[in-house]
Amino acid sequence: MSRFSLNQATLKYAGLQDAVRVTVDAGIESIGLWREPVAEFGLAESAALVRDAGLRVSSLCRGGFLTALDRTAAIDENRRAIEETAALGAPTLVLVVGGLPEGSRDLVGARERVRDAIGELVPDALAAGVSLAIEPLHPMYVTDRAVVSTLGQALDIAEQFDASAVGVVVDTFHIFWDPQVLPQIARAGAGDRIASYQVCDWNMPIAADPLLSRGYPGDGLIDFESLTLAVAATGYTGDIECEIFNQEIWDSAWAGVAARSKESFDLLVAPHLS
């Protein structure tokens, strides 16, 4: 068994059927799904498709966006996302928590609302058997995408709730820079809070659209050895996703992208897992 999982965002322009076919053809055993292509293909149909293909579903992306002053709509949307995660047989719903509401500069208040909203969702997560995985994003996204920027901060929130309901995402791209990253990975593991480990590289120079500055492991400047050893040392045994936002990769042939993702994982990540 390989623990490698291809996140379908790496094949951005593939629909679900193509993404599943390419993943299976590449000899990959697990896939990370996104809500939009799943909705397009149909939830029940998507669940059947991945099941019939023999794939595990490592996570569903994405819930979150919980920072609005009125979060009624966001809570409803996240409840639907939790149900979808369960229906797909995925253990984890990835949460990108949201940035500042229009006109606001209050990061502290936004963070409090994230914590409160997650608290509202915990009963749903427990009932569905789904882990809500708070994903700290790189601080360059703090105002527009995620007011949670560090693993320590994500854990400060997660630890207020049941470990089976709220965990964190360890994504190399977002947290490799953090001087506290290794002790915080250990802390996450000790509390059984690692809900997902995601690997992609930090390409320089930063792309003009800073969302798209990710690369295959090995193409950028991240030390995958130290991060992977730290994750492995916690006893984390789940799938490991490769999720790359990169225009050149998105414009490449899908089969090659899947193969290259797995090769990079086998070369730079897998050797440090045992």
Rounded to the nearest whole angstrom, what is the least distance from the CB of residue 274 to a copy of itself in the complex?
22
CA–CA separation, 222 and 173 (whole Å) = 8
Give the C-alpha distances (Å, rounded to integers) separating 257 from 26, 224, 266, 271.
10, 20, 14, 21
Between 223 and 251, whose beta carbon lies closer to a copy of itself?
223
Give the one residue of 52, 179, 237, 274 binding a copy of itself; rule: CB under 8 A. Answer: 179
Rounded to the nearest whole angstrom, what is the least distance from the CB of residue 98 to a copy of itself in the complex?
14
Asked if residues 174 and 135 have their Cβ atoms less than 8 Å apart, the reply is yes
Rounded to the nearest whole angstrom, what is the least distance from the CB of residue 56 to a copy of itself in the complex?
30
Count residues binding a copy of itself (CB under 8 A). 32
**What part of residues 196-225 is at the interface with a copy of itself (CB under 8 A)?**
202, 204-206, 208, 210, 221-223
Between 75 and 142, whose beta carbon lies closer to a copy of itself?
142
State yes or no: residue 183 binds a copy of itself (CB under 8 A). Answer: no
Q: What's the full length of the chain, in residues? A: 274
State yes or no: residue 173 binds a copy of itself (CB under 8 A). Answer: no
State yes or no: residue 105 binds a copy of itself (CB under 8 A). Answer: yes
Backbone angles phi, psi at 198, to 5 degrees: -120, 135
State yes or no: residue 106 binds a copy of itself (CB under 8 A). Answer: yes
Question: Shortest CA distance to 226 belongs to which of 185, 266, 195, 265?
Answer: 185
Question: Residue 47 is which amino acid?
Answer: A
Give the one residue of 116, 144, 251, 266 binding a copy of itself; rule: CB under 8 A. Answer: 144
Tokens 């050149």 sit on residue: 248
State yes or no: residue 54 binds a copy of itself (CB under 8 A). Answer: no
Question: Residue 195 is which amino acid?
Answer: A
State yes or no: residue 142 binds a copy of itself (CB under 8 A). Answer: yes
Which of the stretches 13-21, 141-149, 230-238, 252-260 binds a copy of itself when contact is defined by CB under 8 A? 141-149
Asked if residues 149 and 114 have their Cβ atoms less than 8 Å apart, the reply is no
Contacts for 268 with CB less than 8 Å, ≥ 6 apart: 199, 217, 218, 224, 225
7 token code pair: 């996140």
Backbone angles phi, psi at 36, to 5 degrees: -65, -50
Residues of this chain that interact with a copy of itself (CB under 8 A) are 100, 105-108, 111, 138-140, 142-144, 148-150, 152-153, 156, 176-179, 202, 204-206, 208, 210, 221-223, 226
